[in-house]
Amino acid sequence: MSWLVKRSFTLAGHRTSIALEPEFWQALEGIAAAQSRSLPTLISEIDAERSTDRPLASMLRIHALRGSH
């Protein structure tokens, strides 16, 4: 059984909630720490680079799987 953890962030001046599995949050936190960034900063950068036809949660999962870039 998979469960999601919802977190809220301000992206481009708008408040948004993102729901991901705990393992993806852990991976993203690790990537942010390795890059000396905060998690909100990392998420904002990923959001700014994604195309509008790709959901942010999907892009975050892909980024977590890749490890960083």
> In terms of Cα–Cα distance, which of 4, 63, 56 is closest to 34?
63
3-state secondary structure at position 53 = coil
* Span 5-57, pLDDT tens digits: 999 999 989 999 999 999 999 999 999 999 999 999 999 999 999 988 999 99
Q: What is the pLDDT of residue 21?
A: 96
- Spatial CA neighbour of 68 closest among 32, 24, 41, 23: 32
| Domain spans of the chain, in order of start | 5-66
pLDDT value, residue 68: 59
pLDDT at residue number 52 = 86
Pick the CATH number of 5-66 from 3.10.129.10, 1.10.3990.20, 3.40.50.1820, 1.10.3720.10: 1.10.3990.20
Strands, E, within the chain: which ranges?
5-11, 14-20
